[in-house]
Amino acid sequence: MSNSAVPDTRDNINGGEVRNGLSSVVLHPVKLGTITVPTPVVLSPMAGVTNWPFRVLCESYGPDGLYVAEMITARALVARNPKALRLCRFAPSEKIRSLQLYGVNPAIVAQAAKIVVDEHMADHVDLNFGCPVPKVTRRGGGSALPWKQDLFTEVMRRTVAVCGPAGIPVTAKIRVGIDHEHESFLEAGHIAQEEGAAAVTLHARTTAEYYGGHSDWERIAQLKQELSVPVFGNGDIWSAEDAERMVAETGCDGVAIGRGCQGRPWLFEDIKNAFAGSSERVNPDLEHVCEVILRHVHLLVDFYDGDEHMAVHDMRKHVAWYLKGFPVGGGVRKRFMESETIADFQAVMADLDMSARLPVEALDKPRGRVRYAKKVHLPYNWLDSRTTTAEQREALFGDDPMDASY
């Protein structure tokens, strides 16, 4: 069961119906320990994207969701890397401070979690077991780690042991497995639940599938049926209607949005409206999009402590996403990509047709990376068994190879 070819009208696991894009499916508030998420729609952590300026924008459109900071490398946090500490910042307006940690060495992850607890850095900790990029998986991290059940169990157990007494819920983000011959999501979901995870999010692709093809939502339904803790579904939600269909098909407790909101923070308002039974959707003209771009870059200036040059350079990729589908031409896009100041952005905007809107065929199309992994990079002999050997642990932790830099 994938998200393609969904009938206009069908029964769904939650007892509602989907009719021509509108549904009677209701998302109930989700409790994560002592935290209540009124509308369980999650901004998935994305490296280089979900810093606090982008989270604040998204939260302004969907104020009752959960907005997770981009992945923090545990080793870098323990080493007090300046970039890691910058990424741990939250805006005063953020209702729930949600931070994601990544690591392979359970002791280092636990140390990072203790810093988060002792310094009151966050209200919620998510553990990254879903990242498919080679620099992470070749060290046994991200989506490679759940294959080793002993290592996965230890990271979960030690993190919950640190965060639990402080009232900080711990959740886990996983993938289906390394490939379809090496799936791990059901076992990982059970382990996470047994070790005290407050919820599990499943990106319904394998590491090998990377960001290509279709997310297999049937796997989300399988995991939901297996677990008693809340299950969030992730993968191929490009519109509010996709979010409705995912809940209808899988019965998941909430949805997690990644690439679908790149350049479209108003997607959270669309989804909020959809689950409230409203057909109202945001389809901004170029004037509104430019206003959002300028607000975003000014927030980035604050994020970079007043460094406008860094903010504008960071903003360039966002501008490409904001303009995706608009008839602005390659020359205009090139001028944006060569901009060095906010004034440069404004000069380019002055030449745009501010009344332009996205053509219907460009709405709700995939955004960001859409590709398969050429090769899954793993530590030597990683797939030989479901537990780590002494040699593998020595290779992973013996000389503390975790990179403390970004």
The residues annotated as belonging to the active site are 131
Q: How many other C-beta atoms are found inside a 10 Å radius of the C-beta of residue 141?
A: 25
Measured CA to CA, the distance from residue 186 to residue 191 in angstroms comes to 9
Q: Which of helix, strand or coil describes residue 281?
A: coil
**Beta-sheet pairing, 17-19 with 22-23:** antiparallel
Residues 301, 307 contacting (CB under 8 angstroms): yes
Contacts of 113 (CB under 8 A, 6+ apart): 74, 101, 125, 158, 159, 162, 163
Contacts of 125 (CB under 8 A, 6+ apart): 99, 100, 101, 113, 116, 159, 163, 168, 169, 170, 171
What's the order of all strands across the beta sheet hosting 199-203? 66-67, 41-43, 254-257, 231-234, 199-203, 170-175, 124-129, 98-102, 72-73
Single-letter residue type at 165: P
Q: Which secondary structure element, helix H or strand E, spans residue 17, and what is its range? A: strand 17-19
Residues 53, 302 contacting (CB under 8 angstroms): yes
Residues 142, 103 contacting (CB under 8 angstroms): no
Residues 224, 211 contacting (CB under 8 angstroms): no
Measured CA to CA, the distance from residue 337 to residue 317 in angstroms comes to 8
Note the Cα 77 to chain centre separation in Å.
Answer: 20
Q: Which of helix, strand or coil describes residue 67?
A: strand
Q: At what angle do helices 308-323 and 330-337 cross, to 10 degrees?
A: 160
**C-alpha closest to that of 230 among 8, 16, 40:** 40
Single-letter residue type at 47: A
Tokens 């741990």 belong to which residue?
88
